[in-house]
């Protein structure tokens, strides 16, 4: 999409959230074994929150990212770097 649409002024980017604590992931948060594994494995040492996605989303929607195209921004507390 980026290759086809960039010349038309469109930016094609995405956010790739990691483990985000939401109502849908509550069962994983409540699973002591999984929660301990996640906190020990993730460089940030914690679950992400929906608020952690706001900054990157606003940045991608702003002129500050006007030359960013074809990228996936991982918002995962560094988990991608250790997997």
Q: At 24, which CATH number?
A: 3.40.50.720
Contacts of 28 by beta carbon, 8 Å cutoff, 6+ apart: 19, 34, 35, 38
- pLDDT band of residue 66 (cuts 50, 70, 90) is very high
Count how many domains the chain has: 1
| Residue 40, SS3 per DSSP | helix
What's the pLDDT at 11? Answer: 95
Report, as an integer, the average pLDDT of 55-70: 97
pTM: 0.88
Beta strands in the chain (DSSP E): 14-17, 72-75
């Amino acid at each position: 999409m980026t290759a086809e649409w960039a010349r038309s002024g469109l930016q094609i980017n995405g956010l790739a959230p990691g483990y985000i604590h939401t109502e849908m992931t509550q069962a994983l948060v409540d699973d002591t074994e999984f929660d301990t594994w996640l906190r020990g494995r993730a460089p940030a040492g914690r679950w992400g929150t929906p608020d952690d996605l706001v900054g990157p989303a606003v940045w991608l929607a702003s002129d500050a990212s006007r030359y960013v195209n074809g990228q996936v921004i991982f918002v995962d507390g560094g988990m991608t770097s250790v997997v």
